A and B are shown apart, each in its own frame.
Chain A
Amino acid sequence: MTYDIRALRDKQVPDENGNVLPPEATRGHFKWSVILGEEDDEQLVMIGRAEHFDAAHAMSSSYACASCCPDSTVDSYVTPFFTVEVFADDIVDFDAVEIKEDCYGDRYDSIRTFNVSWNSSDSEVTSVNSSGTVTALNGGESDIEAVFSGRYYYTQECVPQYRPEAGDATHDIQPNLPGCGACRFDPATQRPRGRLRVKPRITSITPARGLIGTATAVTIRGRSFGSNPSVIIGGMGVTYSGSGGSTTQLTGTLNVAADATIGDHSVQVSNKGQRSNAVNFIVQLPTRLVPFDIPDRTTNGKGPVVVIDNGDIVDLSGNVRATNQCGVYQNVAYVLVDQAGQRIVQPYTLIEEFAFNAQPSQTFNLPANAIITDIHSRSRTAPACLGFNEHDELVQGFTVVAGTSRFDLTTLVSIRVGDFMGTRNVFVEISRP
């Protein structure tokens, strides 16, 4: 039997593993085996043999190797070898690596590129395609298993034969005896496994700030929250109660206790023991008021001083608060900010109180995103008007009630409004220590 190795190379004929000879190969070690057919024990085995004849020098030599079986599959693993931690939507390529052993007992690793099937132990966590490409789906841990058929080859032992003419016993291969010296194999199915830890991914929490002592409705958006996610809040005094959601969005309420830690609280989503990245939710402490500019209405938080003899007093929303007034007024606008100067947009209750010229305090519920407005005024319904030097002198302070807690703001507003020696005016100074 003759093999045309050049033809095998040029025609790129694959071997049992699908490998081909490099087209440019001109020399090297060529290793081959012929095995006995699986179904036919009677098939003759062939061994490698080379015959050299040198007719010119009347020399010849003959080389025959012992029966060398194909390389056996002795073990396997997958790469990545160690457990991989990924976030949702990440893709990881797995390879099945076959550890093979040649007939000399030498081992080597060979990536198995054919006839490998792939499985995920938890289809909620990962999916894997036929090429071993794994997609992280939801939080959790999943084994990725490669399954392929390997073979462990062995040589059929020859029955020692006694040759009386030689006077000895031999283990020589007897190729013409069926089975003797033939390669046989046992199935060596391989199931190597790798492991993937998939972490949910949070992309945003809205709003990312909440007022101390109140409940803030939040939406957590991201990926891979899974079928039974839980929300973990760091720090003290903030808890989450969920109201609904999906694998990409959770809705619920962050309940911020009156004694919660001010500032950052980490928020993570966990599913099947795997925690997401952390995003921050900031607990806001009402601290002070900051003048706010409403376009065309206030500058540095103040509207113009308006002196009226028989006119309407109009607030910053355009509402007429009093008609036919004689006096003076000025609108002002503020927003409430927290310890970091960030605006507080949740609803809260504002109490204004006055020192010096004690007026009753006013309690006011502010809706979300509202801008605080105030009118500093002293006026009377015309034809009456302010008396000579009739004015108010006030120091105005503010307290925010959030939940059951009260927070005195540092902002104080000193106000003088009314008639000053026959001149009507408003003087306002805002101090924000």
Chain B
Amino acid sequence: MWKYKRRIVPAVLAALGVALVAYAQQLPPPREAQEAMRRHRERTRGTVTAQEALFGVLRGLGVPGGFVLSPQCEEEERQTPPGGSSLRERLDSLVAAAPQYKWQAENGVVNVVPKSGLPALLEACIVRFRAESVRSPGEALVKLIETPEVREAMTRPDVGSRLFRGGVGYYDPNPEASESVKTFSVSRDNVTVREALNAIAREHGRAMWTHRQHHCRGVHAFELDFAVW
């Protein structure tokens, strides 16, 4: 009996390992992926989430900004792209279609935030924030997250750790000849995280930050990233 156990246990473990690898590698077949994307595009084409709407408005008018998603676990509701010709008209249109939000402008930076209030992380106060000669808002964001105050905030259960899920960028094979290497600096004392984010967006001029708090399915984390145009 014992000798059989010595053979069966490794065999079961090996089978489990193979099954695990097979499970992990199980990507949707191309046809299924195509069909999923087709349905997604069909469902979403011509509409935008509030976050996408704000990005479109700010990008179109060249105004920096920031967006704070309402804490929710479901997919964001969609709306038609905001109408109007002025920034104010478009922002009014945006929040009219997404009444859980309000917009505010501070020193040339537009923020769309939940009416229910700001997440704790964005209210955290930073004594000294320096981002010298950075090449992108993302680089400045890394320095912001490294500040002791943000580090401390991430230990709080209502904030959680930063969840990083990557994102699209570009590689410039000839960066010396590119205008994209312009650097900028941000220096602020005694500001909240939101104000520091706004300062980064303002100094860069063509950026929007987005904060999203997760308290869903056991995940307590936040996402904080910049999108540029």
Binding between chains A and B:
yes
| Listed stretches A46-54, A174-182, A274-282, A354-362; interface member | A354-362
Q: Is the CB of A294 within 8 A of B169?
A: no
In the assembled complex, the Cα of A369 lies from the Cα of B175 at a distance in Å of 10
Q: Is the CB of A387 within 8 A of B142?
A: no
Q: Is the CB of A395 within 8 A of B168?
A: no
**B163 part of interface (Cβ distance < 8 Å):** yes
Closest-CB distance, B212 to chain A (whole angstroms): 9
Closest to B30 in A: A431
Please encode chain B, from 191 to 227, with 1 for each CB lying within 8 Å of some chain A CB and 0 for all others: 0000000000000000000100000001101000001
Please encode chain A, from 300 to 312, with 1 for each CB lying within 8 Å of some chain B CB and 0 for all others: 0000000000000
Residues in B with CB closer than 8 Å to A431 are 30, 33-34
Within 8 A of A (CB), among B166-181: 166-175, 178-180
| Listed stretches B20-28, B80-88, B99-107, B123-131; interface member | B20-28
Please encode chain A, from 342 to 357, with 1 for each CB lying within 8 Å of some chain B CB and 0 for all others: 0000000010111110
Q: Is the CB of A421 within 8 A of B20?
A: yes
**A79 part of interface (Cβ distance < 8 Å):** no
**B188 part of interface (Cβ distance < 8 Å):** no
Interface centre among A319, A322, A353, A429 (most CB of B within 10 A): A322
In the assembled complex, the Cα of A371 lies from the Cα of B168 at a distance in Å of 11
Q: Which 7 A-B pairs have the closest CB atoms?
A: A375-B166, A384-B161, A377-B166, A355-B40, A420-B24, A370-B170, A431-B30
**B138 part of interface (Cβ distance < 8 Å):** yes
Footprint of A on B, CB under 8 Å?
20, 23-28, 30, 33-34, 36-37, 39-41, 44, 49, 51-52, 55-56, 59, 75-76, 135-136, 138-139, 142, 145-146, 154, 160-175, 178-180, 210, 218-219, 221, 227-229
Residues in B with CB closer than 8 Å to A420 are 20, 23-24
Residues in B with CB closer than 8 Å to A369 are 172-174
14 contacts between A and B (CB under 8 A): A329-B164, A362-B168, A367-B172, A369-B174, A371-B170, A371-B171, A377-B165, A380-B221, A397-B41, A412-B30, A414-B28, A416-B25, A416-B26, A425-B24
**A253 part of interface (Cβ distance < 8 Å):** no
**When A367-B178, A381-B162, A427-B27 are in contact, do A360 and B169 touch as well, CB less than 8 Å?**
no
Closest to B56 in A: A363
Q: Is the CB of A360 within 8 A of B44?
A: no
**When A364-B227, A379-B164 are in contact, do A319 and B24 touch as well, CB less than 8 Å?**
no
Closest-CB distance, B135 to chain A (whole angstroms): 7
**A21 part of interface (Cβ distance < 8 Å):** no
Cβ 8 A contact of A372, one of B146, B170, B173, B221: B170
Within 8 A of B (CB), among A2-47: none
In the assembled complex, the Cα of A22 lies from the Cα of B105 at a distance in Å of 102
Q: Is the CB of A317 within 8 A of B41?
A: no
Closest-CB distance, A389 to chain B (whole angstroms): 10
- The bracket for how many chain A residues form the interface is 35 or more
Residues in B with CB closer than 8 Å to A375 are 166-167, 169
In the assembled complex, the Cα of A241 lies from the Cα of B49 at a distance in Å of 39
Footprint of B on A, CB under 8 Å?
294, 313, 315-317, 319-323, 325, 327, 329, 333, 350, 352-356, 358-367, 369-382, 384, 387, 390, 392, 395, 397, 408, 412, 414-416, 420-421, 423, 425, 427, 429, 431, 433
Closest to B40 in A: A355
Closest-CB distance, A193 to chain B (whole angstroms): 54
Decide if the interface of chain A is mainly helix, strand, loop or mixed. Answer: strand
Closest-CB distance, A376 to chain B (whole angstroms): 5
Closest-CB distance, B51 to chain A (whole angstroms): 5
Residues in A with CB closer than 8 Å to B136 are 319
Closest-CB distance, A373 to chain B (whole angstroms): 5
Residues in B with CB closer than 8 Å to A370 are 170-172
Closest-CB distance, B183 to chain A (whole angstroms): 13
In the assembled complex, the Cα of A408 lies from the Cα of B228 at a distance in Å of 21
**When A319-B138, A387-B218 are in contact, do A371 and B145 touch as well, CB less than 8 Å?**
no
Closest to A385 in B: B161
Closest-CB distance, B53 to chain A (whole angstroms): 11
Q: Is the CB of A319 within 8 A of B139?
A: yes
Closest-CB distance, B169 to chain A (whole angstroms): 5
In the assembled complex, the Cα of A423 lies from the Cα of B25 at a distance in Å of 12
Closest-CB distance, B6 to chain A (whole angstroms): 25
Residues in A with CB closer than 8 Å to B169 are 315-317, 319, 364, 372-375
Residues in B with CB closer than 8 Å to A323 are 142, 145-146
Residues in A with CB closer than 8 Å to B25 are 416, 427
Closest to B223 in A: A359
Q: Is the CB of A395 within 8 A of B166?
A: no
Known: A320-B142, A395-B33; 19 extra A-B contacts, CB below 8 A, are A316-B171, A319-B136, A319-B138, A323-B146, A325-B164, A329-B164, A353-B40, A355-B40, A356-B28, A363-B59, A364-B169, A374-B168, A382-B161, A397-B41, A414-B27, A414-B33, A423-B20, A427-B24, A431-B34
